[in-house]
Structure 1
Amino acid sequence: MSNNKPTLYTSLSPALLHLYDLNNAVVVIIDVLRATSTIATALYNGAKCVIPVDSVARCIELGKRIDSITAGERDGQIAEGLEYGNSPFEYPEAFIRSKTLVLTTTNGTKLLHMALERGAGQIVTGSFPNLSAVCDYLVDQKMPVVLGCAAWKDRVNIEDTLFAGAVINRIKEHFSINCDSSQIAETMYIDAQKDLYGFMAEKNASHYHRLTGFGLEKDIRYCLTPDGANVLPFYEDGKLVVHNYR
């Protein structure tokens, strides 16, 4: 009986997040290009934790107070006043192991703080590099799920919608899904799944266009490839840590 299954909803933009009840839900923060891909990669490569903050000023302030790497981007480029950006390739194991990363991004970290303010039951971050870990966790928890797309300055984007669709495509039998956003996301993913990068290029996706303009094709390809950094970043006590739930 589908009535016994937890619900799953997809919020395609932070501007729509207020429409969903987050209180008893696992909220998945999705910012494929590139915040949540970078968070998964840094933790997979041995970072002690990632502290997501919603402003550059807060990032710099925290960096002065604690021993950490301060990083972030605004509009796709390294934010003024910070040393490092939002590329997963900036955080290899030799550099990031056992270190704390304080990260601020245009969309993803802001959405995480919005979910917190709206009383999310649990917060995890998702991207193609940790697709399997996210799917396994959501099935295991048997809790309502809200897939929260960070989008781009509140405008729906293709890559976050594709990731939501990939999750739905894998786990839909375990959930009750009466949500047109989720159906849209899965339909798009099924159409794109054979070549996600080619789909982004063919549709001239805005973020594809933006990052390609900065010479970041390698980043885009990595961020669209499943399971290259297959850990589950879990938010607790103000930071994201690897969650070993089994």
Structure 2
Amino acid sequence: MTESNKPSLEVCLSPALLHLFDVKSSIVVIIDVLRATSTICTALHNGAARVIPVASVEECVNIGRAIGGITAGERDGKIAEGLVHGNSPFEYPREFIENKTLVLTTTNGTKLLHMAKDAVQIITGSFPNISAVCEYLVAQKQNVLLGCAAWKDRVNMEDTLFAGAVVNRIKAHFDVNCDSAIAAEALYTSAKDDIYTFMKQASHYQRLAKYGLEKDIHYCLTPDGANVLPLFKNGELVAG
């Protein structure tokens, strides 16, 4: 708690900066808008039993084989070699994913999740579940760190925009003494009237659009399409 008796709200713009924050006394929100955390909340919203995030493709294949799970993931925006499914939220409708386990590996999001393992609690956030995330964070009355997965440690637009959107919604309940949180909110405020068009200048938009994934991008930037709270417990994400 800060001197104002409100918990702190901070934003870490890249996993490379995580060591500068007090993870152990915070709830950490893992943000990987395009597309890991959007896909995680979508799978759980559509009835997945759990999502197991893993760092490597090899680990994904081995765990999937051992438990009969669905192995999925991407590297640089494409389905990773050796895996059957990718990182698109549209691959996980209820009729496919309900009551199943998704084993997922991604370029950026799963790495950050494992880096933040000492947090008070880890949840995942994206625009499709922004209301669930914000309601949970306000109710907990604990320090919050919004952790952007970024792109190979480089700050990216979409994760910063989501962090800014959360700051904008819940800042009245927190002490925001963090320049990156203020900057993220300022970016979001300038983009919020048309985030999709604003995102067209972003490197990750251009990377995914090259593969014809504009529909994915649009979904991942739209609020509350899969409003469930993924909680990280015992190495897996479950609907809270």
Query: What SS does structure 2 have at the residue aligned with 1:194?
Result: helix
The residue correspondences of 1:223-242 to structure 2 (distance < 5 A) are: 223-242=220-239
| Residue 12 (structure 2) aligns with | 11
Q: How much has 1:2 moved relative to structure 2?
A: 6.5
Q: How much has 1:24 moved relative to structure 2?
A: 1.9
Query: What SS does structure 1 have at the residue aligned with 2:177?
Result: coil
Letter in 2 for 1:10: V
Query: What SS does structure 1 have at the residue aligned with 2:85?
Result: coil
Aligned: 1:212 with 2:213: no
| Residue 66 (structure 1) aligns with | 67
Q: How much has 1:121 moved relative to structure 2?
A: 1.0
Counterpart-to-counterpart distance in 2, 1:221 and 1:186: 20
Letter in 2 for 1:61: N
Summarize deviations over 1:138-179 as a string: whole Å, max 9, x none.
Answer: 000000000000000000000000000000000000000100
Counterpart-to-counterpart distance in 2, 1:158 and 1:2: 32
| Residue 110 (structure 1) aligns with | 111
Summarize deviations over 1:14-59 as a string: whole Å, max 9, x none.
Answer: 0000000011210000000000000000000000000000111110
Counterpart-to-counterpart distance in 1, 2:90 and 2:170: 30
Counterpart-to-counterpart distance in 1, 2:223 and 2:81: 31
TM-score (norm 2): 0.98
| Residue 145 (structure 2) aligns with | 146
Number of corresponding residues: 239
What value does the CA root-mean-square deviation take over the aligned residues? Answer: 0.9
Counterpart-to-counterpart distance in 1, 2:80 and 2:224: 28
Query: What SS does structure 1 have at the residue aligned with 2:23?
Result: coil
Counterpart-to-counterpart distance in 1, 2:75 and 2:54: 13
Summarize deviations over 1:171-195 as a string: whole Å, max 9, x none.
Answer: 0000001000001100000000011
Give the gaps of 5 or more residues in structure 2: none
The answer to whether the Cα contact below 8 Å between 1:166 and 1:186 also exists between their aligned partners in 2 is yes
Query: What SS does structure 2 have at the residue aligned with 1:152?
Result: coil
Letter in 2 for 1:31: D
Aligned: 1:95 with 2:96: yes
Summarize deviations over 1:89-143 as a string: whole Å, max 9, x none.
Answer: 0000000000000000000001000111xx1110000000000000000000000
Give the gaps of 5 or more residues in structure 1: none
Summarize deviations over 1:51-87 as a string: whole Å, max 9, x none.
Answer: 0001111101101110100000000000000000000
Counterpart-to-counterpart distance in 2, 1:33 and 1:193: 17
| Residue 191 (structure 1) aligns with | 190
The answer to whether the Cα contact below 8 Å between 1:2 and 1:175 also exists between their aligned partners in 2 is no
TM-score (norm 1): 0.96
Query: What SS does structure 2 have at the residue aligned with 1:3?
Result: coil
The answer to whether the Cα contact below 8 Å between 1:29 and 1:125 also exists between their aligned partners in 2 is yes
